[in-house]
Amino acid sequence: MRVEGSLASGRELSSERSTERQRRSESMATRVRTLFETCREVFADGQAGNVPSPEDVDRLRFVLDDMNGLDVGLAENMPFFRNIESGGTPRITYLHLYDCDNFSIGIFCFPPSGVIPLHNHPGMTVFSKLLFGSMHIKSYDWVDIPQDSNDAINFAQLQPPARLAKVKTDAIFTAPCETSILYPADGGNMHRFSARTSCAVLDVLGPPYSDSDGRPCTYYNDFPFATFPGAAVVAPGEDEDYAWLEEREKPDDFIVVGARYRGPRIVEG
């Protein structure tokens, strides 16, 4: 009798686990579908430089803020997040979820010490959600015309081989945290991601990169403000808030490899 009871209990436990897996699978699919549908509405315009309304930005931010790695079928013990390189900068893995002319959705998978070098997002609004892990983000916006007294800058006649930018973000982010958002002209349009632990970043770009449409990805070196003395003068004590950015070729040690996305599929309909 005790054996039969044990078998019955085992069957019940198996059934409960199966039901829980089914519920989790349905929840994952719902979150990814909601993300896709919200992106499709928010980026319906599809024009470079056109920023979604504040209401639409908040809608998409709300969807992303509630997501984590499990929602897209990711766990930290997956091979993407292990550093298999014997030396140098670890390669990054990209998982493609969806793209069209108006927007793209993808996930960057970082092993510890993985780096996406400083680069720009021409004419784009970009939402970046750290799904798990910890990373350092440094971002800049261009300095063109002083907009307030705190940004008073005097440019000299000297023209350095670089362009002045202001630091927007220089901080460590650890999941769970709010979604980072950048815009065509502010919010930290040029940024660098440096993984402190294994981590995953879900990226939504609207519109995506396109060389043919004039939206190539440009990489930069950044230099301290004092590198070009006399090129510009900022208020005392604000030197650390600025840097000079110089265009460069894509770094040779920056390698991104594609892998199959195995989370809930996006089905247009």
Q: pTM of the full predicted structure? A: 0.86
For 180-195, write each residue's pLDDT tens digit.
999 999 999 999 999 9
Exposure on the CB side of residue 113, measured as CA atoms within 13 A: 10
For 225-267, write each residue's pLDDT tens digit.
999 887 888 888 888 999 999 999 999 999 999 999 999 999 8
The yes-or-no verdict on residue 17 having pLDDT over 70 is no
- DSSP secondary structure, 125-166, as one string: EEEEEEEESEEEEEEEEE--S--SGGG-EEE-S---SSEEEE
**Cα–Cα nearest to 217, from 113, 94, 82, 129:** 94
CA angle at 49 for the pair 44 and 50, rounded to the nearest 5°: 40
pLDDT computed for residue 97 by the predictor? 97
For 72-128, write each residue's pLDDT tens digit.
999 999 999 998 766 778 999 999 999 999 999 999 999 999 999 999 999 999 999
Residue 242's φ and ψ, nearest 5 degrees, are -130, 160
Q: Which pairing describes strands 163-174 and 115-119: parallel, antiparallel, or unpaired? A: unpaired
* Mean pLDDT for the chain overall: 88
The yes-or-no verdict on residue 8 having pLDDT over 60 is no
Max Cα-Cα span within the chain: 94
Give the whole-angstrom CA distance, residue 60 versus residue 53: 11
**Cα–Cα nearest to 180, from 261, 266, 71, 60:** 60
